[in-house]
Structure 1
Amino acid sequence: MRRRRTSALLALGATLAAGLVTGCGIRTTSVPVDAGAAPSRVPCSVTGGADLSAAQGVPLRVYLLCGAQLEAVERRSPLPEEKVSGDPLRTASALLAQLWSEPSAEEREAGFTTAVKGPLVVTAGHKGDPAGTLRLSRQPEDLPPTALAQIVCTFAESAAGASGTGGPAGDSVVLGGPGTYQPRRYSCPRELKERPESAVPSTPATAS
């Protein structure tokens, strides 16, 4: 008899609890609800920075990490324009220095970071390398994928990448390391900008 009364009381309690939930406007469901990904709070846009048009130096466009993707950021090189413009190697050096520099306070607030760590330098290609080859002080494949993606996309869309194609900036750049390994042509498709942690596409570079 006591067991029956206890079961009845438990059942009554469960019914009342369900009624309270329903009365509060919350409908119960046994089906999992997919609410989608949480909205991102990272703006990935620098709006409070200094006026670049009034800054000294050459305007540069580099790719930083923000919201797990590559996003372009406008910078200014501290070098005068005559030291950079028209010289692919100096352009690449200025871009690389910007990539491994810490983001500004405004960029950090907007969610920007960089995976490129210094010291890292770029030099001209070795004798026999394809035209426009740039050599890094570390083997490209030894860099973290996100860091290499930043470098490739930044170089490819600048005069540094144009030097290896004989024309305007495109979507690839020829890179090698400090050793005797043959350089490769690395490309920056849209998919890489969306997933910079993936392997950077590359093909053997041939002399022109």
Structure 2
Amino acid sequence: MRAVRERRGLVALVGVAVVAAVASGCGIRTTSVPVDAGAAPSRLPCSVSGGGSASRAQQRPAPVRVYLVCASGMQAVERTVPETGDKNPQDSRLAVARALLNQLVAEPSAAEREAGFTTSVQGPLTVSAGRGGDPKGAMRLSRQPEDLPAAALSQIVCTYAENGATADGGTVLLGGPGPYPVRRYACTEQLRERPDSAAPTRSAS
């Protein structure tokens, strides 16, 4: 009986050695440290052929670029909005900001959905001109920007920055209905890659 047990023990040791050799031959190295390989590659095309959804208004359409979420990032899609007839630059800028926000709240077109695009901006949500004491070019949303989902705020910031809807120099001046000062938001490459991260801000002054 002792000889049988010894043979069984020898067989078990041989089996362990074989498994270790196979793992070594495959280049597998065990580790107790979790490895972050980044986001899994997406099979979504994140690209729309031709233009996206267009406004049905009768005015002459103006091309714009609206940021939508696709996979784990954000990309701009081509849209059209009614061309504003306002001659006052401030009124024209507000009209553009409202049209862009409406585009973000609207459901993506069938072609955009098929390409994997979604929007995190949900209504009801409106935008109005800044109040007295706000810097020039500031806009105020009907909700505090920091209360919006991070991806929704990222879409608004990058869409406004892309189309020069508020402020200038690629930054956006946004506030909410509360008695808080507006903040200056920047659409960075990091924000476009990870819209769920917090939008970078700094004082508007």
- TM-score after normalising by structure 2: 0.77
Match of 2:47 in 1: 45
Shift in CA distance, 42/181, structure 1 to aligned 2, threshold 3 Å: same
Q: 3-state DSSP class of the match of 2:61? A: coil
Tell whether the 8 Å contact from 2:45 to 2:115 is kept in structure 1 after alignment: yes
For structure 1, which runs of at least 5 residues remain unmatched after alignment? none
Inter-partner Cα distance in structure 1 for 2:75 and 2:99: 18
Distance in 2 of aligned mates of 1:153 and 1:102: 18
Which residue, out of 62, 72, 75, partners 1:71?
Answer: 75
Is the partner of 2:117 in helix, strand or coil? coil
Q: Deviation above 3 Å: which 4+ runs of structure 1?
A: 4-12, 27-30, 36-39, 48-52, 82-86
Match of 2:200 in 1: 201
Deviations 1:136-157 (A, max 9, x none): 0001111111111110111112
Q: Which amino acid aligns with 1:4?
A: E
Over 3 Å counting, the alpha-carbon distance change for 1:154 and 1:48 in structure 2 is: closer
Asked if the contact 1:58/1:84 (under 8 Å) is kept, the reply is no
TM-score with structure 1 setting the length: 0.76
- The aligned residue for residue 182 of structure 2 is 183
**1:92 Cα offset (Å):** 0.4
* Gap regions ≥5 residues in structure 2: none
Equivalent residues of 1:187, 1:201 under 8 A apart: yes
Partner of 1:31 in structure 2? 29
- Checking the alignment, whether the CA contact within 8 Å between 1:48 and 1:106 is kept in structure 2 is no
Report if the CA contact (8 A) 2:52-2:79 is conserved. no
Deviating more after overlay: 112-121 vs 83-92? 83-92
* Cα deviation digits, residues 54-113 of structure 1 (max 9, x gap): x96221111111121121111122x3x244796100100010011111111211221111
Letter in 1 for 2:136: A
CA distance in 2 between partners of 1:175 and 1:10 (Å): 69
1-structure distance, mates of 2:193, 2:93: 26
Query: Structure 1, residues 136-185: CA drift from partner, whole Å, max 9, x if none?
Result: 00011111111111101111121312xx24xxxx3111111112211111
Pairing 1:102–2:101 present: no
Decide which of 119, 122, 132 is 2:127's aligned counterpart.
122
Using a 3 Å threshold, how does the CA distance of structure 1 residues 198 and 39 change in structure 2: closer, same or farther?
Answer: closer
**Identity, % of aligned pairs?**
50
RMSD: 3.3
